[in-house]
Amino acid sequence: MGIYVNPNNESLKISMNSPTYVDKSMLIAEVNRLVCTEKRFLCVSRSRRFGKTMALNMLCAYFSKGCDSRELFKNLKFSKDPSFEKYLNKFNVIKLDVNSFYSNLSKKEQEEKVDRSTRDITPIFNGAVVKELIPAFPASNITEDDSIADALLKIYATTGEQFVVLLDEYDVLIRERVSEEIFKSYLNFLNAMFKNDNLAPAIALAYVTGILPIVRDKVQSKLNVFDEYTMRDSWSLAEFVGFTSAEVQDLCQEYGLDMDECRRWYDGYNINGIETYSPESIISAVRRKKFKSYWTQTGSYEALKNFILMNFEGILDDVKTMIAGGRIPVDVNSYLNTMTDFHSKDDVFTYLIHLGYLAYDEDAEECYIPNREVRDQWILSVQFSPDYKGLMELVNSSKQLVESTIECDSDAVAIALDKAHEQICNNLNYNNEGTFQAVICLAYFYANLKYTIVKELPTGKGVADVAMIPYVPNTPALIIELKRNKCEKTALEQIRAKNYGAALEKYSGDLLFVGVNYDEQSKEHKCVIEKFVK
């Protein structure tokens, strides 16, 4: 048993001791199906705080000969699976966290103020692993000059022993943009480990994690034996990416949190048809019994800001649309998964999908900001940028529009809609009914913090253009009817005549009926608001 070779199961024990531990052990059942097959090489990329390391610790505890994990797993779902006994603590395991080697400077290096990006860490972790392999396999004649690949070849040749290789944060040197020389050294390590026909039979499983998928140039040639499981497509592993809706529901019930509110804050990722939540955000909300931004505290908003300020045609307008709640078509196939080769806004948005700042709809081929938690981070990233001055004006205007509507200040609402028309709709045909409705919803996008917004809500005798159903206490519900070249009072009369309020009969609070008319000649809005007290 060592730190890197055949580790123990203490890391999993610590995780399982948490009262909020969520059982993801059926991941092992999926992985077991691939052990000792041609598909035994997995590259699993996830955003920060989506459980990559915890999954690796669980796999280590299951496969490692350095511990006995039967008792640890006995109450987990996987213990009932037919494949549970098959590989339980039966493999030699090598477990490496590349980021820890990159981040941890020796005392001497700290004193000399060594720049991490100039350190070649490949010889460091090679040496650390080989040092543990020598006493573990004395008959294999391993020397300190051997690389990990050399040592495994000797072990396999003399003993026939196979290894499970677990590599965490494989992409840290890519994300940190180290020098070409250091990167080449790391590529040689990957090549020796995973592109070596002689060594291949000694690898029973390779499970590699990172934030970015495999780089599609230099690294891809070294790792083309790997199948990729990403934030865009995780196929058979999709339910093990973050927390599922059912898992979050169970936690909310156990700890007395409102699931609907939780969904508004943290939902929005949909991976292979499965609603997915960031575990970091959910666990933090459960422990503190408070909904706020947690996941985004683990990364700097500057990282987001630097990319959305890139000078690619259309990126500013697209960012404005997404912050306002819209979706943008995106081609996710051109991005090379590097930190240097950004050739279009599609590359930028694809990168942000992998970081979790955007979610991806595979069927529609669109990206969008997934939830309130992440949207707050976007607003923080652009609020002081001159390039996004217009967007911040829109954010502030939308906030004021919502407040004016709730206060029944119809004149202020009309003025705010005039302004929103100019900010949002310069190049669109506002006279089109669908566009009119879309712009009204964008103008009210700040209402997402208080309301569920529904377009074309079926009502008593017709369909309401826009309904806003509050989830914040002591907030009135809104029904908005839109007219063009008519009269705002006509819109209000239609709400009454067609009994639109019946659609919200289960809502016990106050209702506001909002009639809006747009005059194409004057290009002005008129508004009338009526309060209905139940």
Q: Residue 275: what pLDDT?
A: 92
pLDDT (tens digit, 9 = 90+) per residue, 52-95?
A: 999 999 999 999 999 999 999 999 999 999 999 999 999 999 99
> What is the phi/psi pair of residue 259, to 5°?
-65, -40
Kindly report the pTM of this predicted structure.
0.82
Torsion angle defined by CA atoms of residues 264, 381, 368 and 257, in that order, rounded to the nearest 10 degrees? -10
Which of 352, 384, 416 terminates a domain? The answer is 384
Asked if residue 165 and residue 77 are part of one domain, the reply reads: yes
Copy the structure tokens of residue 147. 């690389």
The answer to whether position 60 is within a domain reads yes
pLDDT (tens digit, 9 = 90+) per residue, 186-215?
A: 888 988 999 888 999 999 999 999 998 887
Where residue 406 falls among pLDDT bands split at 50, 70, 90? very high
- Sheet order of strands, 243-244 included: 243-244, 274-277, 269-271
Copy the structure tokens of residue 39. 């598909």
CATH of the domain at 33: 3.40.50.300
pLDDT (tens digit, 9 = 90+) per residue, 89-127?
A: 999 999 999 998 888 765 566 666 667 667 788 998 999
Asked if residue 373 and residue 406 are part of one domain, the reply reads: no
For residue 440, pLDDT over 90 is answered with: no
Asked if residue 215 and residue 136 are part of one domain, the reply reads: yes
The answer to whether position 126 is within a domain reads yes
Domain residues for the domain of 338 are 300-384
For residue 469, pLDDT over 80 is answered with: yes
Q: CA–CA separation, 485 vs 497, rounded Å?
A: 20
Q: Residue 56: what pLDDT?
A: 95
The answer to whether position 4 is within a domain reads no
Asked if residue 266 and residue 199 are part of one domain, the reply reads: no
Most confident of 28-42, 384-398, 441-455: 28-42
Q: Residue 427: what pLDDT?
A: 46
The answer to whether position 3 is within a domain reads no
CATH of the domain at 494: 3.40.1350
Q: CA–CA separation, 296 vs 280, rounded Å?
A: 10
The answer to whether position 482 is within a domain reads yes
For residue 398, pLDDT over 50 is answered with: yes
The answer to whether position 42 is within a domain reads yes
Asked if residue 36 and residue 132 are part of one domain, the reply reads: yes
